Every structure is written in C-alpha cells, then in structure tokens.
Amino acid sequence: MNWERRLYLAAHPLAYPLLRGAARRGPAVRVPGVGVVVNDASAARAVLMDGETFRKDGPGSPGDLWTPVLGPSVLLNMEGEAHRALRRRLTELFTPSSTEELCARVLAEPLARLRDRLARGATVDLVAFSRVVAGTVIGEVIGLDVRDEADVRALFERGERIAATVSLRTRRLSPSQVARAREVLDPLGGIAARSYAAGDESTVMGRMRALGLAPDEARGAAAAFFLTGTETVATLIPRLVALLADSGTLGRVAADPGGLLDRAIEEAMRVATPTPVMLRSVHRAAEVGGVAVRPGDRILIATHNCCQADGAFDLDRSHPPELRRLWFGAGPHFCIGYPLAMAEIRLVARTLLAAAPLRITRRAAARGVLIPTYRRLAVRTERAPA
C-alpha cells in the first residue's frame, strides 16, 4: 500500500473507502445522507464555475458550517455581487510579488535555522517545521507577532482543533462545536481588529483598512484566512518531499528547481489533494454528471476522486485543462490565498532541495485529522556534515 493511501485511511478509515467507492459509480452519483457526489473533473469544474446554480450559502453548503462561527460576510459563505466586491478588494492583498516579499521576510529566520540543522547533519521533522512555517505566515497576516516556535505551534494547533470537529459527512456544527470554535477564534479576531485599527499599511490588516473594508469584514477575513491558510501548506510540504523521494525524482528536481519545482508542487497537490472535498448547495434545477439535481440538494465535489483519476504521482504528467488547480477551486471562489500558499511552499522546498540528497528516516500517518497528513516525517541530508 502506498503512503498516500495510508494517510487517507488513517485520517478517514470509514469515509475514505466510501468516497473511493463512489468514484466507481460514474461522473456523479446520489448517495443517501451525503448528497450528490461528483467524481469527474469536468463536471466538478462546471459546478464551480456556475455560482448562480451552485452556491456556498444554501443548505448543506460551507455557509451552513461557518456562518455561525464567522458571521455572514466572509468569502467562505458569500455569493453574488457582495462576494465579488469583497473579493476584488482582497485580491490586491495576495499578488505573487507581495506574497513572495511577505514570506521571504517572515520566514528568513526559520529557514536559516532549517539550513543550519540540515548542514550539521541533524534530523528534521518536516511536519513540525511546516507547522512553524504556516503558523508564522498566518500570524503575520492577522497581525499577531509570533517569534517563538512554541507560540507558533500553539497558534497552528488552534486551527487544527477547529478543523478536527469537521468530518467528510458534517453538514453543520453543533452549538457546542460553534462555541469551541468561537473560543479559539475570538482572541485572534481581537488581535486582527487591533492591527486593523492601527492602520499600518505595511501590515495585511492595515492594507484591508486602506482598501475600504469595514472592521467586521476585515475581522471575518482574518478568521477565514486563519482557518484556510494553515493546514493546506503544513500538510503539503511533508507530502511533497515524500512523493518526490518515493518516486525517485527528488534528486532530479534538486538539480533543476527553476525548471521543475513548480511542476512538482502542482503534481504533488494533485495527488495529495489538500482540499479532498468541496461543498455546494443547489439553487435551481440542473444536471450534474448525468444526475438531475433540484433546489436544496447538497453537492459534494469529491476533488480527490477527480484528481486520482489521472493516476499516481508522475513528474512528467501534464494536467488536462479541466483538472488544472482544481484542488484550489475554480470560478468565483478560486482560492484567493493560492499565491501565498505557493510562495511558502516554494521557499521551504528550495531550502530542502539545496540540502539534497535527502533521506526519509522515519514517518507515521496522522489520525483524527480532517486533511490527511503525516504525524511525523523525519529527514536528513546524506551529505557530510559541514
């Protein structure tokens, strides 16, 4: 059994076999108690591109999950002109150049420590290090000054506690789950609000104020960034390194990171699928993958099934147009944080590849998590210590 399958089975021992079983039922299939499961990339993209028919603010959608926690005005649960207007303003915060500058600045110290540890021949747990990376960057985004690695890990664990309350079948959070999520997020919202009020345009929150976002919009956006901007990066980095090592292509990418690294990251994201499922609510009658749907139906896009149809990790694979970056969504809700995630992953990957050849010395799958990941992935360089 390959390690990617182990990760999914460890995270979702019951739901994962059912999800993969649905893939054998055709482009889409109605599953009692779950909704209409979409397994085909073309059908999934068609759903994601049609924000009028398939929405994030109806029954069974992400809005059902997150509105009680975050309020009504965050990108995760908005549609229509209000969503487009907010997204236009927020997009300016996450351009490729601004995200590269932000990550290079705030990750300089952690990456220097990583280089030093690898050069000394020490073993590095990429799971723990990736959490530091993700926590450091998202702390900067929401205006939290986190310098100590223990504080950064604690910040990451706050988001992990919220994500752990959600399963592949969850339709809405219980009152106690909502209360626990607010308990975690409210202090961070207060920090974000103070950063917004200070108005320093060198900070993300200060730029939100300059762009005309209202205080509640900025606070909600910060909470949404925190929920969505940590685990994607933290889970992908160890899996990227493992996929390269297991496929025997780590040395090849290390020899030509300028030409191959982005291709390797995109292929790793296809295989790992950091967003295994996406939810939508049907607003008007339509057809999805040959299945008739009606208002109120729940659509579960099995992104993982769509991506796995192209087979195992292959550095030389070209992604067809319908699959391109589907794991980040498509259409009006394509992930606004995509440039930020790529900037983080590139910086860490380049640092690791510069220490190649690398050897995985120990690994274990994580259990009880929403996004499948490693509990530990230890690596060390096979170069002679400096």
Q: What backbone torsions phi and psi does residue 76 show, to the nearest 5 degrees?
A: -65, -20
Residue predicted with more confidence, 60 or 93: 93
Length of the chain equals 386
Q: Which CATH superfamily is domain 3-26+36-381 in?
A: Cytochrome P450 (1.10.630.10)
| CA dist., res. 19 & res. 305, Å (int) | 8
| CA dist., res. 69 & res. 141, Å (int) | 20
**Which residue type does 332 have?**
P
Structure letter (DSSP) for residue 325: T
pLDDT for 227-277, tens place per residue? 777 788 899 999 999 999 999 999 999 999 999 999 999 999 999 998 899
Nearest alpha carbon to residue 16 among 29, 25, 24, 7:
7
C-alpha to C-alpha distances, 310 to 286, 289, 314, nearest whole angstrom = 27, 18, 10
Give the contacts of 12 (CB within 8 A, at least 6 positions apart). Answer: 19, 167, 168, 372
The pLDDT of 96-105, averaged and rounded, is: 93
Structural domain boundaries in the chain: 3-26+36-381
Residue predicted with more confidence, 205 or 249: 249
| CA dist., res. 241 & res. 249, Å (int) | 10
pTM: 0.90
pLDDT for 314-323, tens place per residue? 999 999 999 9
pLDDT the model gives residue 230: 79
| CA dist., res. 59 & res. 279, Å (int) | 10
| CA dist., res. 268 & res. 249, Å (int) | 12
Is a pLDDT exceeding 70 seen at residue 76? no
* 149, two tokens: 């690695």
